[in-house]
Structure formats: structure tokens, C-alpha cells
Chain A
Amino acid sequence: MAEIRIKGVAKDFGTFTALHDVDLTIADREFMVLLGASGCGKTTLLRIIAGLETATKGEVWIGDRRVDQLPPRERGIAMVFQNYAVFPHLTVFENIAFGLRMKRMPQAEVTRRVTRTAELMHIEQLLKRYSGQLSGGQRQRVAVARALAMEPEVILMDEPLSNLDALLRLEMRAELKGVLAGSNTTTIYVTHDQVEAMSLADRISVMNGGKIVQAAGPVEVYRNPAARFVGSFIGNPPMNFLSASPAGAGQWQVGGQVFAGPEAPAAEFAIRPEDLHPSDTGLPAEVRVVEPLGPHTLVTATVAGQPFRAVIDSTLVPRPGDVLHLAPMADRIRWFNPETQKAL
């Protein structure tokens, strides 16, 4: 059992607060992705869990042990670093065997585990090489194999694919998902790439400014953002936001149309670009730029002077200057509190 519980963890670097009271529970064998823009504190949180950084306050539990006072080696974790951290003075074999030798495992068992994880990561023909003789992708595989060979309860990965080129990243992503699904580990995976997060995660924790804004499944995070930030960060193109003015109880006027919404003193209207379809009664969107993408066409427009994007069927070919009428799908409309930026 390796459930991870993070209770009220905060981290100050001098006067700068990198993490504000983070609470998070990660279930046993769950694949949790920490997603957020650069500098939001993902690495700091991961390093606190690993024991490479000490929290200013709060507790970290792995299984039924409180680990925040333990050194990294006693936490039952393995980590994959962004720049791989493959030991240059050791062969690939000895790199993968490093942790096993520290555990004083018998040679036969070491060889068995190294061979097995090397096969899993498709690097069995590289075992005699040194890190200087490997490509970036191969080093990445060695780093993952080294972590897996430990058979840890928890694997922590800090942007493991961000140094690979696009094609390799795609390939490794699928492979990592397969390999980790087959292991019994709880995984925490840090990335700033929303597509990576979506494709890998059982659950995504969206972070912003040292706080976890929402922790939920990928579809939930996408469909029901808990905060305006989540909607604007996830999705490409991101969610559209339009100001709304009250038009009676639970009625809001948006771009000249009236929509049923929450009963609140103020609200902001939100809709994803692909949840719109052309209709004579829709929101009037003045087209600025049209980008045909093959299956869809991306339209950048303004609605009541506010920027607005729509992904529409490519059979429709509007021109800049046209006014498109785009009707939002009623069940996909979301509302946010303009003050707190939280979902209504």
C-alpha cells in the first residue's frame, strides 16, 4: 500500500512562498500528474515528496509512514530526473544495478532485475555502454529502467520527456504509460504539457502560483474546470470567457443573447471553442482570422469586443470581417465568479 498523503505542505524560499498549504491525496497505484505553468511549484512539491527539499511546514505520508523527516533513501521512492542524471562513470548495466547493489542484493538477483527492466525499456543491447555513448532518448530509458529496477512503491518523475524531440516524446509517452500501468507503483508525474497530462493521468492536479487549483480526472478537469485558470490553461485553444450582465433571476445577457445561468450577484460566461455550432440565433462573432486545420477550422473572432475562438467544421469557410452566429451547446456552458474566479 503506497497511498501518498500531503497535508498542509508549504515551502518558502526566503521571502518567496513557492507552495501555499498544499493538501493532496494520491491513491495507491494511481497515476497522478502535476500540471502547471513553469514556476508554479511542481518540482518543489515533487522534491519535497522525494526528500530532496524540506517543507517549511506540513506532513508527507507514504502508506502509513510519516516520511517528511526521513532521508530520500528511506522513503521507498525512486525518481526520474528531467536531465536523466545517468551516472557517466558507470555502464548502463551498473547504472540500473546501482540501487540494487546499495541494497546488497545477491548478484544473480541483480542480473535478473537489470535484464528484465532493460528488456522492458528496450535497452538490453546497450547494457555495456556508457552514458556518453547514448542518445537523449536512450538515456531517458536508462533513467526509467534504473527507477523501475528498484521496484519502488512510488515513482516520481520530473518532466521526464521535456528534453526529447517531439516524435520521440510521443513514442516514449505511450511506452511509459504501458510500462507503469503494468507495475504496482504509485506514480507522480510532473509536466507543463497538458496533452501529456491528459494522455497519461488517472488524475490531474492543476497547479497555479504554488496552489493546487483542481485535482480530478482528465475529462472532469477539461469539462468542469473548478476555476477560471483551469479552463484557460487546459485545452488548445483554451476556453472562451465572456462577461455577462444580469437579466432577471438566473438569467444572464451575454453578447446580446440571454442564457439561463446561476443565481449570483455576478457571473462570467465560459464555453469551449469546440462546443459551438453555427446557428442563426447564436452569439454574433466578428471573424478576424481563419485557420483551416484539415478536420476543423479554427476561427479567431470577437464577440461584443471580447476575444473569442471557435473550432468549426471545415466545410464552413468564413472570411475575415464576416459575422458568424455561433450557438453554444447548452449543457457545455460554464459560469465563473468574476471575484473569486471559482466555478459557480
Chain B
Amino acid sequence: MTEAGTQDAPPAPDRVRRSGRWVFVTGVGLLVAWVLVPIWLLLANALSAPAEVTAFPRSIIPSFDTASLEFFFGFRGVLDALWNSIQVASVTMIVAIGLGAPAGYALSRFDFPGKEAFRFLVIMTRAFPLPLLALPLAVMFIRTGLDDTILGLALVHATLALPFAVLITFSLFSGIPVELEEAAWTLGCTRLQAVIKVVLPLAAPGIAASAVFAFVISWNEVFAAAVLTIENRTLTAFLLQSLDVSPLHLKFAGGAALVIPALLFIFAVRKYLFAMWGIANR
């Protein structure tokens, strides 16, 4: 055995490690650049004076001129769209958590036939392209009077956010030992009381995180927003609509106004999102 090992000796472990390291560092560098460069350009341009944005050659260091942003927020319809976005995202958040958290709890605590299939289906809902559903949805919404309303759009966004809400809360609840609940039962609690007094306080930070995530999903969504609303446009839909007609610096300011809150939110809740992937990968 030892002889065979020396005959077809693998390349020196040192060299393998070094070149592996090189590949790793390059890969990480590329991925980081992929994400950060556009954000940087967006920021740099949003924080530059309108004239600088179109100037050539252009500095990649922002001049911290707020004229573009001021112009953007003063633009007719922007504040209304912003307010619509916040409303839709808030309703989305409430619906997604209100339905998703109980589903996550049930998945973590009960064994029922079809449980695995249910978990799979939850993820499968993301496999349907929204454009495919948008037209029938629009027709249905017009019939029921839900078209061009905050609630109607929020319902669509909630279906997008729900799978994540279910998976994140499932992983949260699974991380809370069932003995804690059982101890609460023996100490006089009903199942609901045990959930309220023991499970929810322990899961609260994670639930808040998945609520924020649902908020961001709605905040960033553009397709359904563009198709299903006309008067009550959200910020994304509004920007999409006025993209052609607006000057470059306005686009950058709008982009920054969309991306920055989403980035901050996601950064704040990243811990819980990783937990969800951990579960989803299993």
C-alpha cells in the first residue's frame, strides 16, 4: 500500500494548497466586485451634482452633492410612490408573517402526512415566473376590484415573501427546544399560552428579521407592481415608468433610494437569512 502511494504521488500538498488558495481569493474577489461595483457607481452618482454625472472623464469619488437627491425627492409623484411602497411593503410584511409564522411553527412541531411535500411545495411556489401569472392575476383583480389597490399588490407580494417567511420561521422554531414548551405545559400553560409566553419571546428577533425580509421583497418587487397598479404606483414601478423620460442623475438617485434601505435591512437581518439557507440546503 505504501509503495503504491509513493508511485503515483499527488502533487506536493504545499503547491495544491497555494494554487487552491489563489483560486479561492480570485473567486471571492470577483464575487465581491460583482456586487459592490454597481452599488458603488450608484452611490457615487447619486451623491454627485447633476452636471458631474454626465461629465467626462468622470471621477469615481462622489462629491457629496445632494442636488440630485433633492431633485429626485422633489420630483412630482416620487413621495407618493415612496409612501405607496411603504404601505404595500408593510401590509406584505404583516400578511407574510401572520400566515408564515404559524406555518413555520406547524412544520417544526408537528409530524403530519405530506409534511416533506409541503415543505417542497413552499419552495416550488418560487418556480412559477411572475410574468406568467401576472395577466390572469390582473384580470382577476379587475373583476374583484383589487386592481390598483395597496391590498391587491400586497397580496401578490405576500405570496412571494411567504415561502421565505415559512422557511425562516421554521428554522427559528426548530432551534427552540421543544422541552421548553413542554415545561410550560406542565407548569399550567395551554399550547397557545406556551407559544405566547415562551416561544415567541425567544423567536422575536428572528421573526422581526423575517418580517424585514418580507418588507424588502415587496420593496424591491417591480413586475407585479408595474402590471397591477396604475395610479397607486410603488417606487419601483414609478421609476420603471419614468425611466425613459428622466435625466440620468434622477435615475441614479432613484436607484440609490431603492437599494440603500434594502441593503441596510438585509444587512441587519443577515444572520437569520443564513440560518434559513442552512435549513433549505438540508
Contacts and interface: CB of A to CB of B under 8 A. Distances in A.
Interface in A43-90: 50-52, 71-73, 77-79, 81, 83, 85, 87-89
Interface stretch (B60-68, B153-161, B175-183, B223-231): B175-183
A153 to B, nearest CB: 13
Given A81-B179, A102-B193, A87 B186 contact: no
A99 interface: yes
Contacts of A78: 186-187
Contacts of B189: 73, 102
Contact of B185 (A72, A87, A88, A89): A72
A73 B179 contact: no
Contact of A81 (B182, B198, B201): B182
B177 A146 contact: no
A255 to B, nearest CB: 49
B41 interface: no
Nearest to A102: B188
Interface in B174-215: 177, 179-180, 182-190, 193, 197-198, 201-202
Nearest to B197: A98
Given A71-B190, A73-B190, A85 B185 contact: no
Interface size, A (range): 20 to 34
A73 B186 contact: yes
Residue of A50, A77, A102 with highest tally of chain B CB at under 10 A: A102
A102 B202 CA distance: 19
A65 B123 CA distance: 48
B185 A71 contact: yes
A73 B201 contact: no
A83 B179 contact: yes
A234 interface: no
Given A89-B201, A89-B202, A102-B193, A83 B177 contact: yes
Contacts of A87: 180, 183-184, 198
Contacts of A98: 184, 187, 197
A267 interface: no
B176 to A, nearest CB: 9
Contacts of A88: 180, 202
Nearest to A47: B182
B187 A73 contact: yes
Contacts of A83: 177, 179
A72 B188 CA distance: 8
A150 B188 CA distance: 10
Nearest to B179: A85
Contacts of B202: 88-89
B112 to A, nearest CB: 15
Contact of A50 (B184, B186, B197): B186
A51 B179 CA distance: 13
Interface in A98-113: 98-99, 102-103
Contacts of B193: 102
Contacts of A103: 188
A88 B205 CA distance: 14
24 contacts: A52-B186, A71-B185, A71-B190, A72-B186, A73-B185, A73-B186, A73-B187, A73-B189, A73-B190, A83-B177, A83-B179, A85-B179, A85-B183, A87-B184, A88-B202, A89-B201, A98-B184, A98-B187, A99-B187, A99-B188, A102-B188, A102-B193, A103-B188, A146-B183
A-B interface, 9 closest residue pairs, ranked by CB to CB distance from nearest: A102-B188, A99-B187, A85-B183, A85-B179, A72-B185, A89-B201, A79-B186, A73-B188, A72-B186
Given A78-B187, A83-B179, 4 more contacts: A78-B186, A81-B182, A85-B177, A150-B187
Interface of A: 50-52, 71-73, 77-79, 81, 83, 85, 87-89, 98-99, 102-103, 146, 150
Interface of B: 177, 179-180, 182-190, 193, 197-198, 201-202
